[in-house]
A and B are shown apart, each in its own frame.
Chain A
Amino acid sequence: MKRIIARREAVLVVLLLAEMAAMQSLSPLFLTPDNLIEVVRQSAEIGLIALAMTLVIITAGIDLSVGSIVGLSVMTMGMLWEDARLPLALAVPFALVAGALLGGFNGTLITAVGIPPLIVTLATMAGFRGIALGMSQARSIRNFPEGFLWLGQGYVAGIPVQVWILAVTAVLFHLALTRTAWGRSVFSIGANEAAARLSGVPVNRVKMQVYMLSGFMSALAAVIYAAHVSVAKPDAGLGFELTAITAVVLGGTAVSGGEGGVLGTLIALLMVGFLRSGLTLARVPSEAQDMMVGLLLIIVVAIDRWSRRAGRE
């Protein structure tokens, strides 16, 4: 089992290197430290969401509302700061709590009422976005202080701040998933929920925590995104769910649940980021890039299915 996952990640690394070589041949500007760091910086916000999405998908769930949680929590922060005159040092924690509560709302409907995650989060994807647009009347909030913008634009030891945040969170997620009883219960829920329940795993509580974590990470991504682009807008995070889910699935986490890991997600995130960056340098329009990312997702999953079937025969 462990060997299969490790092999999958090795394949991803080889693919990533091949892709980087191909992109370098498209543009000599690709393999420069500045460009590589920039790609990682651009991927950091979605990366934070994709980390939590990995856990959600390992439990055989899905969270389509993450992009809307980004929009709603960033407006919560912005409006608390601008309208309620709260210092950002308070508004930011409020936004993070709001994100966790929104995730908790999803979790309650999924665990207590028993509605499938796809439908719950499809509905809250529309619902949360509507609240973000409605309460702000679609205005944007600007003029954040320098200290706040540092979160999204500053550097520590030559590496962007959000890349540090992503790296530290990724290590924490990896350890929690592979080294703790909690992580094992996340896997066991996805592999066989009924069996997990019978063997004493607090299924509902763990699922609730996973969705709250997803909401919290979306809010964290929202704060960093606002600092990165210097503006809080209610349509922030539009489509983030697609890129995040693409990274998770591309990274080898099975949508049927029970297997996967955050390492694969991170490698896949870089694959998508490098692909886009290389194609941009080669002047391929962004809509053609969207096409290729979609195709990449389908092709990689199709190859995975075929190889598994061949392995069984």
Chain B
Amino acid sequence: MTSERIPPTRFALWRQYGREMSVGVFLVLLVGYFGTTPGFLRADNLRDILINAAPLVIAACGMTMVIIAGMIDISAGSALAVCAVVAGVTSKSGASLPTVILLPMLTGAVIGAVNGWLVAGVRIPAIIVTLGMMSVLRGGVIWWTRGEWIGNLPPSFSAIGRGEVAGIPTPVLVAVGIVVATALLLARTPLGRHIYAVGGNPLAAARMGIPVRRVLWLVFVMHGALLGLSALVYASRFSVIQSNAGAGFELLAISAVVVGGVNIFGGQGTVWGSAIGGLLLQVISTGLIFRRVSEYWAPSVQGALVLLAVVADALRTRRARR
């Protein structure tokens, strides 16, 4: 923290992270609410929630950067499927562990580079680019796999998603690492500051000499690589990979980010909020199962939660402006 920041007062932490902390409080309340259902608060269930939330939290980190930069990516679910299939096929071919880990990330980065080039280079709006890519990638992956599932995955592959280090499940460890790394990147590096500047006001950022287009392109590349990692963690937990994997995943990732308080107009928010948002969505989805609420209602709950978060934000900024 440098001296140019707001001088520490009693409420400094609240002023800086108030939005994230209120989501955190909401998460605790929610766990308490579902905790009254027998079995919900058992250690193995809480552990499952963390493991299940890991792919979402990892993807939400990339999506946070995209949204802070004032962009959007609705092809994330399709990109996840492509990367998951790449991971499965690489692993089945008997490639070494580093290859199995790096190739999906590389695939994701290449997809991100194409999206980023179309957005920053050709200057097509991100919503159109990723809308097109959504069907290109989904169509491509189904065509490639002929709609069949990829099974018979080697045990070394499943070990990635089901393993643990010092008693902590690998997916959770990876997710925590990515959250911390993204947070540091956004808060402590020039690139991070540029991402906020570009999302806050692209024209002003360009006048200040920030290479706006290169920053946008890099954001998409990093987001793509994180999607690759998310796909690896996601796919290695199951014994088969389906070509319809990740359908609707883009909605979940965007929801996590928006619920976590990242400004949808860009320029504001932190990855901590998105991580809590991702966890919150997973707690709700598991909690509803414990409450025996029919799974069909789940999308409504998710949609209502997003609306609640954005309406609250809109009312709060309106009051602050007065």
Residues of A within 8 A of B (CB): 62, 109, 113-116, 118-120, 122-131, 133-134, 137-138, 234, 242, 245-246, 249, 255-256, 285, 287-295, 297-298, 301-302, 305-306
Contacts and interface: CB of A to CB of B under 8 A. Distances in A.
10 contacts: A109-B311, A115-B307, A118-B72, A120-B310, A123-B306, A124-B303, A134-B300, A138-B296, A291-B140, A294-B132
A115 B127 contact: no
Given A126-B251, A133-B296, 7 more contacts: A127-B300, A131-B297, A134-B296, A134-B300, A137-B294, A290-B142, A302-B122
Contact of B300 (A114, A119, A126, A292): A126
A302 B124 contact: yes
Interface in B102-126: 118, 122-125
A126 B302 contact: yes
Contacts of B304: 123, 127
B138 to A, nearest CB: 7
B131 A113 contact: no
A47 to B, nearest CB: 18
Given A127-B307, A249-B128, A293 B135 contact: yes
Nearest to A254: B125
Chain B binding surface SS class: helix
Contacts of B314: 113-115
A123 B132 contact: no
B226 interface: no
Nearest to A293: B135
A116 B314 CA distance: 10
Interface string B284-315: 00000000001011111111101100110011
A305 B296 contact: no
Contact of A294 (B124, B136, B254, B264): B136
A119 B264 contact: yes
A123 B303 contact: yes
Contacts of B307: 109, 115, 120, 123-124, 127
A266 B142 CA distance: 29
Contact of A290 (B135, B251, B310): B135
A245 to B, nearest CB: 6
B124 A129 contact: no
Contacts of B303: 123-128, 130
A246 B131 contact: yes
B155 interface: no
Contacts of A114: 314, 318
A130 B310 contact: no
A272 to B, nearest CB: 11
Nearest to A129: B299
Nearest to B141: A287
A134 B139 contact: no
B275 interface: no
A115 B311 contact: yes
B265 A294 contact: no
Contact of B139 (A129, A291, A305): A291
Nearest to A301: B124
B143 interface: yes
Nearest to A119: B264
B134 A255 contact: no
B301 A130 contact: yes
Interface in B256-270: 258, 264-265
A116 B258 CA distance: 12
A131 B300 contact: yes
A53 to B, nearest CB: 12
A249 B140 CA distance: 22
A308 to B, nearest CB: 10
